[in-house]
Amino acid sequence: MDKKIIFSGIQPTGNLTLGNYLGAINNWKKMQDEYKCNYCIVDLHALTIRHDPEVLRKNIINLLALYIAAGLDPEKSNIFIQSHVKAHSELAWILNCYTYTGELSRMTQFKDKSAKHADNINSGLYTYPVLMAADILLYQTDLVPVGEDQRQHVELTRDIAERFNNIYGQTFKIPESYIQGAAARVMGLQNPNSKMSKSSTIPNDYILLNDEPDVILSKFKKSVTDSENVVRYDVENKAGISNLISIYSAITTKSKEEIEKEFDGKGYGEFKVAVAECVIDELKPIQAKYKELLNNRDYLESIYKDGAEKAKRVANKTLEDVYKKVGLVL
């Protein structure tokens, strides 16, 4: 039987957080043998927010290095940069004509980002999910491994694909989001009621993948908990501790019950140190490999060039079919 097709991507907007790692990359690397994986650096999406061109150029390469350092294997998975495959922008334009403004207005990420960047609510920010739909649909994707926050965008992708297929006949496979693991929604350490994001104004709220061990330890030690001092999973009443349990569970693969037992009778202080240590141990080899890869620019370049060629072959086939179906002259 043919392997199922996977597509996912991350925006190169600077340092990634532990949320990006546990919600996405950590799951991606486990899928590489069983599935046909496409992992993209979605650089065009990053243009929706004001940025410094030189910084963006660096961030794109840094993210590629991080993908490899975290365990994505270019021999197994196709790794490429979105803007190198022009079909993404071209399909996005066509899909724009099959997406309603009402649908885009309902996207919670658009509402959040508009509130955060009130001085720059550009059209790209608004049509961002349509570009994401194009990313996914070009590859006839079966599964989209993402964190919980991207579920709504994948739902919209399905709606757009179904609408197009209903008008023109079978063109796109209908993808499903694949939300996995104990940490599909890593919450802030200072504000455990909202997702961990580096756009938080409190640096202690998030762990960056390149944070030094002492910084990681200090951030976990300062994390917000409750006064019960019992390590017990209860999102509603103990959001902070439940978040730490999820992080510990995602990394150690221990179940929530096992963790509660392990820390039975022990206080939050001890638990916080254990969580910090497992995160430090997880990130240490990734940080070392990352630094090493950044000195090997030729290797990184060979990966993204090769990746783009492979991606183009699949993407252009879908795009050509779409062009024909909507009545363009080829």
> Could you list the residues that contact ligand TYM (CB under 6 A)?
7-11, 19-20, 22-24, 42, 45, 132, 135-136, 144, 146-147, 149-150, 153, 184-186, 195-197
CB of 20 to ligand TYM, least distance (A): 4
Strands 36-41 and 5-10: parallel
Binning the chain into helix, strand and coil, the percentages to the nearest 5 are: 55, 10, 35
Q: How far apart are CA 36 and CA 79, in angstroms?
A: 11
Rounded to a whole number of angstroms, the minimum distance from the CB of residue 46 to ligand TYM is 8
DSSP run (H or E) holding 300: helix 297-326
Q: How many CB atoms sit inside 10 A of residue 3's CB?
A: 11
- Residue 66 or 132 with smaller CB distance to ligand TYM: 132
Between residues 147 and 240, which has the closer beta carbon with respect to ligand TYM?
147
Active-site pick, 4, 58, 173, 198: 198
CA 84 – CA 73 distance, rounded (Å): 20
Considering the candidates 29, 36, 195, 219, report the single residue annotated as catalytic: 195
* Orientation of helix 268-294 relative to helix 297-326, angle to 10°: 90
Is 113 tagged catalytic?
yes
Task: State the minimum distance, in angstroms, from the CB of residue 180 to ligand TYM.
Answer: 11
Output the residue with the shortest Cβ distance to ligand TYM. Answer: 23
Q: How far is CA 305 from the centre of its chain?
A: 22
Q: How far is the CB of 38 from ligand TYM (least distance, A)?
A: 9
Cβ at position 138, least distance to ligand TYM in Å: 10
3-state SS, residue 9 = strand
Q: Which residue number, 19 or 307, has a Cβ lying nearer to ligand TYM? A: 19
Helices (H), 169-267: 213-221, 239-252, 256-262
By beta-carbon proximity to ligand TYM, the closer residue of 198 and 232 is 198
Q: Which of 113, 219, 238, 272 is catalytic?
A: 113
Q: Residue 153 or residue 238: which is nearer to ligand TYM going by CB? A: 153
User: Catalytic residue numbers?
Assistant: 113, 195, 198
